[in-house]
Amino acid sequence: QVHLVQSGAEVKKPGASVKVSCKASGYSFNNYGMHWVRQAPGQRPEWMGWINADNGYVKYSEKLYARVSLTRDISATTGYMELSSLRSEDTAVYYCARGSNTGWLRYWLDPWGQGTLVTVSS
Amino acid sequence: EIVLTQSPGTLSLSPGERATLSCRASQSISGTYLAWYQQTPGQAPRLLIYGASSRASGIPDRFSGSGSGTDFTLTISRLEPGDFAVYFCQQYGTSPITFGQGTRLEI
């Protein structure tokens, strides 16, 4: 069965960075891509970016491209999302989700990880 | 970017009834690249429908999707207690990928 298991909740101060991991199992990791989506309290989900798990090619949202970095470790079947220069508005639940490795478009997100709450507070 | 607007914001129904949820796009969604997800508190979103009308694996046929262009609908026939959740739509045909604000289905 396909599973994505994310790392635990984080509390960070403004200006710091956070790195969230997403461990994949039940499928051939490098045959798919991985999306990252965040959802702030009471807000709609926001797409952050996508990584091709095979070759590491990334596509970031225009809003976050200067602060977000997506990487992956094929041997560990794990994807990572790092967000820098954190501010209070980055407080949200962060999700990873499996996608296609042919591109960030034209393929749905399934399944999703359980989510990681990142709280940014002084 | 394509803005998705869902209606109603909250839908109050009873088990056994039929639910109709709407998702309207600010511009035409190419290739019917529209998905629906279900989210219950504290849980990961679950894919219900992709390609506007195709049910994901394991999703009962009580869930159906329809629509094209800018207007899409998720229909849940014969509501069961576990169906009361938040539903949101997503377009994945044009960059950036965007989501609706969600419809809360409550008893």
A 10 A CB-CB count for A69 gives 17
Q: How far apart are CA B44 and CA B37, in angstroms?
A: 10
Predicted confidence at residue A113, as pLDDT, reads: 97
What average pLDDT does chain B have?
Answer: 95
Pairing of the two strands A10-12 and A116-120:
parallel
DSSP A80: E
Q: List per-residue pLDDT tens for chain B, 107 residues long.
A: 999 999 999 999 999 999 999 999 999 997 789 999 999 988 889 999 999 999 999 999 999 999 999 999 999 999 999 999 999 999 999 989 999 999 999 98
Q: How far apart are CA B52 and CA A31, in angstroms?
A: 24
Beta sheet of A46-52, edge-to-edge order: A10-12, A116-120, A92-100, A32-39, A46-52, A58-60
A 10 A CB-CB count for A85 gives 11
Task: Out of B45, B92, B96, name the one closest to residue A112 (CB).
Answer: B45
Predicted confidence at residue B41, as pLDDT, reads: 86
Interchain proximity B47–A111, CB inside 8 Å: yes
Predicted confidence at residue A65, as pLDDT, reads: 94
Interchain proximity B35–A108, CB inside 8 Å: yes
* B86: closest chain A residue by CA: A44
Q: Is A111 exposed, middle or buried, given 0-12, 13-18 or 19+ CB atoms closer than 10 A? A: buried
Predicted confidence at residue A104, as pLDDT, reads: 86
Predicted confidence at residue B42, as pLDDT, reads: 83
Query: Which residues are registered as beta bridge partners of A73?
Result: A78
Task: Out of B31, B51, B88, name the one closest to residue A44 (CB).
Answer: B88
Q: How far apart are CA B42 and CA B46, in angstroms?
A: 12
Q: Is B53 on the interface with A (CB under 8 A)?
A: no
Predicted confidence at residue B107, as pLDDT, reads: 85
Predicted confidence at residue A102, as pLDDT, reads: 85
Q: Both tokens of residue B19?
A: 């639910």
Interface test with A, best of B36, B55, B97, B101 (most A CBs within 10 A): B97
Contacts of B38 in chain A (CB under 8 A): none
Taking chain A (122 residues) in runs of 10, the rounded mean pLDDT of each run is 96 98 96 96 94 95 96 97 97 96 90 97 94
Task: Out of A35, A47, A113, name the one closest to residue B44 (CB).
Answer: A113
CB contacts < 8 Å between A and B, how many? 62
Interface test with B, best of A108, A112, A116 (most B CBs within 10 A): A108
Q: How far is CA A56 from CA A8, A18, B87, B95, in A?
A: 24, 20, 32, 19
Beta sheet of A68-73, edge-to-edge order: A3-6, A18-25, A78-83, A68-73
Q: Both tokens of residue B98?
A: 């965007």
Predicted confidence at residue B9, as pLDDT, reads: 95
